[in-house]
Amino acid sequence: MSDEGNKGSESSSEWANLTPDCLLEVFSKLTVDEMLDGPMQVCKPWSQGGNMAVYSTFGFGTRTAPLPASGEFDWDAMEEKMDALLQAFVDRSKGGLKSIKIKLCTDKSISYVADNCPDLVVLWLTSCPSVTDASILKIASKCKKLKEVCVRSSGGITENSLNMVKQNCPKVQILNN
């Protein structure tokens, strides 16, 4: 093999030996589509690092565009889709989900998160009228690492459950209820 061929092999192995923290930093700058199209296929360490980065944050539906009036929109169907999407994401994260920012989900998916994501750090719920104190109390008892909770336009969540989150999660900050 020529020197040029050996040089390429050394270069490839150097890329393969990047630390998981370094890979997470690189992957955090890519979109999900970019991650799935390229780096995940470079080598095993990149694939593992990419999986950690892709499935550590779920941000869906947090844009501030107004939702349509109830007569123009099938709220129940959308909540079911969001629940299914979040639950699938939780399953793929294998318990590694750390951040959720979501619109239009229900107690079903938030309870699922509580049962499967003990390391959750961020939970933002916007326009989630079907999320109630029941699932927030589960979050309070099972996700003790929470640092940030933001609840907007989610009338089923009361101060009582948010106070329980504060009591059980000493590092948490409750934002804009």
Average pLDDT of 149-170? 95
Domain that residue 21 falls in: 1-54
In this structure, the answer to whether residues 12 and 41 fall within a common structural domain is yes
- Measured in degrees and rounded to the nearest 5, phi and psi for residue 142 equal -115, -15
Structure tokens at 66: 């107004």
Average pLDDT of 124-150? 96
In this structure, the answer to whether residues 49 and 68 fall within a common structural domain is no
> Which residue, 136, 82, 73, is CA-closest to 104?
82
**Residue 10: per-residue pLDDT:** 44
**Residue 78: per-residue pLDDT:** 84
* CATH code of 69's domain: 3.80.10.10
In this structure, the answer to whether residues 26 and 70 fall within a common structural domain is no
Cα separation, 167 vs 159, in Å, equals: 12
- List, for residues 15-58, the tens digit of each pLDDT value: 667 666 666 566 666 665 565 555 555 555 555 555 555 678 88
Mean pLDDT, all residues of the chain:
78
In this structure, the answer to whether residues 79 and 36 fall within a common structural domain is no
pLDDT above 50 for 165: yes
Q: What is the pTM of this model?
A: 0.70
| pLDDT band per the 50, 70, 90 thresholds, residue 61 | low
Contact 53, 36 (CB under 8 A): no
In this structure, the answer to whether residues 71 and 137 fall within a common structural domain is yes
Label each residue of 54-119 as H, E or C: HCCEEEECCCCCCCCCHHHCCHHHHHHHHHHHHHHHHHHHCCCCCEEEEECCEHHHHHHHHHHCCC
In this structure, the answer to whether residues 36 and 92 fall within a common structural domain is no
| Domains contained in the chain, number | 2
In this structure, the answer to whether residues 62 and 140 fall within a common structural domain is yes
